[in-house]
Every structure is written in structure tokens, then in C-alpha cells.
A and B are shown apart, each in its own frame.
Chain A
């Protein structure tokens, strides 16, 4: 193939790639063409060609810069935000609360932070999601680089009776840790303990959250004994401390309570986080009857989780 034809083909390719938005590919072809011309000074139109290509490269560079500069996750219309929610809540999973949580988390992930904050704020009303939603809300404030607002929000929760002291402790440790990561050492205030605390079943100090641990919303356990043998029963997470999740077995499922024993290894658990399904196993750490409060009579079971490597 003669040089002129080679150059012509390269330029044709480059032009097409540019028009299709394949900018790096276009750049490579222009540069190849340029080199070819430069090494063949006997070409009659030598300088013209080089000038022409240089102009094309300039235009291409402008496009590359435009794309680099455009916001990666701009705020979109409310209608589009609704669609984001709809997109991730698409599943036959019946639990509307978990769907709403998925939606809010997706909004946050896609940079729709303000909307996400208002969604999380709604979810705080739901018992089982309160801590997850509150944590996510704090994360959102941090993403907006408003540390003060995160702290102010936490302080407001201290006097919010929907939060138990244990839940608040978890949020305090959580927020202190994320602030520390941002280089802010701050001791946050605690709720003053009431004279006779009523709604606390557990009294352990909350562990420091491990950031690598995934927030588990619910888990599915295959039952091997009793009347529900062979079925996968789904339990909602009441709360989670590091790699220990706490679930509630309703007194109505009394026969399930007898299925589990402390120390049991349970293989084949499906863990549902907001983003994905994980498979793993778990060990039953404790089973306690709730003695006081609105859940009296129900059982609280703690499972130490082990996720399979994906």
C-alpha cells in the first residue's frame, strides 16, 4: 500500500472514531498518521497535511477536556430520581421497607445526596431500619462536606425518643469514627442515662464498627428441623454490631426458637445487604427472651456472620 493511501485510511478511521465518541482511539490514529507524514518529507502536501491533522487533534483534545470536566454525578430531576428508586426496588421481595432503603441508598450512590437525606429521614421512622438509615444520613452529610450538620443531626437525635440508648451509642461511635477519618478528633455527647431504663435488653458496650463489614438488612436461613423443615425463612436484622447481627424471632414462631441452639453452626445462610446477596454461614451466639418493652415475649437471637468470599 502506498503512503498516501495508508494516511488516508488512518484519517478516515480517526474521523469515524471521533464521531462515535471513541476519543482515545481517534487520537491514536491521528498520531499514527502524523508520524507517518513526518517520516516522509518527500510528500508534496507535507506541511498542509501536518497542519490539518494538528487542527483535528486540537478539536479532539477539546472534546476530551469537556468530558473530563463534566460532572460525573450531577443532580437530576425529581422524576429521574423517582426512576432511580424504581429501578433498584425492582424485585419480588415483598418487604416495602427494604425496597425503600435500597432506593435511598441508590440515590446516595448516584450523587442525589439531598434527596437521599430526605428519604433516609423518612426511614428512621421504621424500627428495623432506624440505625442503618441514620448512619446513611450521617454519611450523606459527610459527602456534602457538612461535618457540622452531621454532628448537629446526631445531637438532635439524642433527645429523639425513637432512638434507644444503644442505638444512639452505635451512632455516636460511628460518627466519631468517620470524623476521625476526616481528621477531626471529637468526643460527641451521650444521652444522660434515665433512672430506671426500661427498653434495654442488652447492656454491652457497642463495638467499634468495622468498615469492611457489610450492613445486613435481612437473612435467609434454611430450616432443617421442626414444622418449617426445608423452608428458607427470612429474618429481618434488628441491629448489627460489627459482624454480629441481631434478629428477632416472634413468639408466634415459637417452634423456630426451639430449632436454634447457642453454639450452632448454620451453613448456607443468605445475607441480603442493600446492594447484593451474599452467601455465608453463621454461629448462634445467644438466644434471649425479651423481658421488657413492646417486644416482650419475643426472642432475640444474635448470629456471628461469616460471608463466603465472592
Chain B
């Protein structure tokens, strides 16, 4: 539910990084914060606990400049992944326009990925949003770990597990090196802005 301010010629939208705990959502955002200085219009805010676990959420305000005479502003959030923060995740999703699902490539996290995707679907539904309709991007993160001899799932496997029905654009990434991070966010922003255009036309 983006905010269209016709008078100020401003569009503000909300993007949320979702995914199981420790899949690399905060690391994605940290990389964006470090790398895309020109598009960052404020501080990145994180509240974390013992063992740098995201407590409530991380927040990053971005500005994409002008598109068709409109100033585009983006509020980017991450959710806390741990199971016990379910109600917090739901709050973060409120009014969301686009979602990036950060999946963990580690074999040991296979089931957690699938559970988190179910949780996303459920929480969106509670807001009356169909997961098949919202701009959604899949990111297969931590691809770098394969080189260290750590068991990592194949992309095929992950696509089968998570993206067989959704069929959304997906990216391989390594948030720690930044590989794939920008591409993931850009695609999500592209789809999100495109969806506004459609809404405008139909409404």
C-alpha cells in the first residue's frame, strides 16, 4: 500500500526482506547501505540482541530519484527470522509493496527455508495479499560457502523446494561479498514500481 502524494509528487513504498533466521537479510541490507551511498537518504537502524540477532527489524530509508516526475522513496525493512518473533514479522509486513525472500543455501537449513516461505504466505494472507500477486523476488544466498566445502544445495533443488509454484525471478547471491545483492533489490524495485503502474491503469 504505497503512499502516493500527488501534491508533493512523491511515491513512497515499502520493501521487506523476509526469510528464515540467519539467512543473511541483515547482511544484504548492510551491503546496500555501504554500497549505494547515493540512494541512501538516512541512517540504517538495527536493533539486535545477544549474538547480533535481529530483534524487531532493520530499517533503511532510500531515495531512487525521479521517475516520470515523481520522487521515489523506499522504506526497506528486514524481519527477525527466529520462530518466536512471528507477531513482529507480521507487523513489519504491514502495508508491504514488495518482498525479497532470502533463502539459505545451506543444506542444514532446507526445511527452515520452506517453513519461512509458508509463514510469509500465511502472514500476507492475513493482510488480504495473495503471495502469487505481490512483487516477490527469491534470493539463494550464501553461494560462496560451496567453495569452502560446506554442504550447499544446488540451485535446482532450491528452485524445486521454493519456487516451483511461485515462478518468481530468482538470484544467486553471497551477501557477505555483495554478489547478487544489488541485482536482487533492483529487480524487486522494478517489479514493485511496475505494479503501481498497473494499479494506476486499472484504477
Interface residues of A (CB under 8 A from B): 9, 12-13, 16-17, 20-22, 25, 28, 63, 66-67, 69-74, 76, 80, 83-84, 87-88, 90-93, 102, 106, 109-110, 270, 275-279, 310
Other contacts beyond A21-B21, A67-B51, A87-B57: 5, CB < 8 A: A25-B109, A90-B3, A275-B126, A276-B126, A278-B128
Interface of B is mostly: mixed
The one of B90, B92, B94, B108 in contact with A22, judged by C-beta atoms closer than 8 angstroms, is B108
A70 engages B50 (CB within 8 Å): yes
Pick from B2, B59, B126: contact of A92, CB under 8 Å: B2
Contact between B47 and A90, CB atoms less than 8 A apart: no
Q: How many A-B residue pairs have CB under 8 A?
A: 98
Residues of A close to B88: CB separation below 8 A: 109-110
A16 touches B145 (CB 8 A): yes
- Check B51–A21 contact: CB distance below 8 A: yes
**B94 touches which one: A12, A20, A83, A88 (CB < 8 A)?**
A88
B84 touches A87 (CB 8 A): no
Closest 4 CB pairs of A and B: A70-B50, A90-B95, A91-B95, A277-B128
27 A–B contact pairs at CB < 8 A? A16-B145, A16-B150, A17-B106, A21-B22, A22-B106, A71-B49, A76-B47, A84-B56, A84-B91, A87-B91, A88-B91, A88-B94, A90-B1, A90-B12, A90-B94, A91-B1, A91-B3, A92-B1, A102-B94, A109-B91, A110-B91, A270-B128, A275-B90, A275-B94, A277-B128, A278-B128, A310-B125
Instruction: Tell me how far the C-beta of A129 lies from the nearest C-beta in chain B, rounded to whole angstroms.
Output: 18
CA distance A66 to B150 in the complex (A): 27
Interchain CB contact under 8 A, B84 and A72: yes
- Which residues of chain B have a CB within 8 Å of any CB of chain A? 1-4, 12, 14, 21-22, 45, 47, 49-53, 55-57, 59, 75, 77, 84, 87-88, 90-92, 94-95, 106, 108-109, 125-128, 145, 148-151
